[in-house]
Amino acid sequence: MMSVDIVCPIYKNYEQLIRLYDALSKQVDVKINRFVFPMTISEDEEIDNKIRQFIKDKNITSFEVTKEEFSHSLTREKAIKEYCKSDIVILCSQDVVFFDEHAVSKLASSINEKVIYAYGRQICQNHSIERYIRKKNYPKESYIVSKNDIDRMQLMAFFASDAFSCISRKHFLELNGYQGYNVMFAEDMLYSKFVLDAGYKKAYVSEAVVAHSHKYKLKELFRRYYETGKFHKEIGLFNQYKSTDSGLKLAVYVLGQALIHFNIPVLFRWLPDMAARYLGMKKGKK
């Protein structure tokens, strides 16, 4: 039976924490040696204390950071390097929903000496634009990406999501984690590049499924893509790869799906939604 550690940053939501812990505790064909839940301190002391008590009661390994200290890359890196012990580490977000008891084992079993990073399939439970985007980005067929695929796939070669992913800790340490990059976005994409550049492989495991749903307002969506553009501007590691074609194809795909399903709310939302994404990305890159 495989042994894994779980790393999941926690912030403010006590109900999500309980649901996630219960779902992970029910996973089969895998032994969870350690839960490592870094906690970001919020402005709500009552909720923070409830989370602290839950962490204590369940004997969960944790450390605390302020909102100013939190980093999507370095907080995870600290958890993996200093607190994890297992060879395989599962990364997840507190808001994912597990549908079955085999998701963790299916994802973890993809890791070997060549495939050192893997991520699972995400679906959206609401009938929004995000539902179609997840359907496009997370297909039903699994695949493996190597350095040889970069020319063909361009920017999509580095696509991954730490909302539900899996790493080889040994190789994470070998590659020096996120290599000192302190980012608030796309740490998964960053690590994908380090993996492929080093000659290792990354896997997409469609059989390992979680639900991950959001309902972004247009302002929130603009801000999210602004941060994405800012990430590409500041990091600069992905500027040589093409992304415009894939973005346009995605927009056309979403429109086509909305027409096929006669999804009126999505049809009304499509133009301002895509404009918010495009303009946010463009402004962020400047």
Q: Where are the beta strands (DSSP E) in the chain?
A: 2-7, 30-36, 39-40, 64-65, 88-92, 97-98, 115-123, 143-145, 164-168, 201-211
pTM: 0.93
- CB-CB neighbours of 74 under 10 Å: 18
pLDDT at 58: 96
Strand pairing category for 201-211 and 115-123: parallel
Instruction: Please report, for the domain that includes residue 29, its CATH number.
Output: 3.90.550.10
pLDDT at 116: 98
One domain for residues 199 and 267: no
pLDDT at 249: 85
Parent domain of 18: 2-211
- In angstroms, what is the C-alpha Rg of the chain? 19
Q: At which of 158, 180, 211 does a domain end? A: 211
Q: At which of 164, 181, 211 does a domain end? A: 211
One domain for residues 93 and 225: no
One domain for residues 250 and 154: no
With a cut of 50, list the residues of the chain below it in pLDDT: none
Q: How many domains does the chain have?
A: 2
One domain for residues 180 and 242: no
One domain for residues 30 and 103: yes
272 vs 242: CA distance, rounded Å: 24
pLDDT at 244: 54
One domain for residues 248 and 108: no
SS3 246: helix
pLDDT at 228: 87
One domain for residues 73 and 191: yes
Q: At which of 193, 211, 229 does a domain end? A: 211
pLDDT at 42: 94
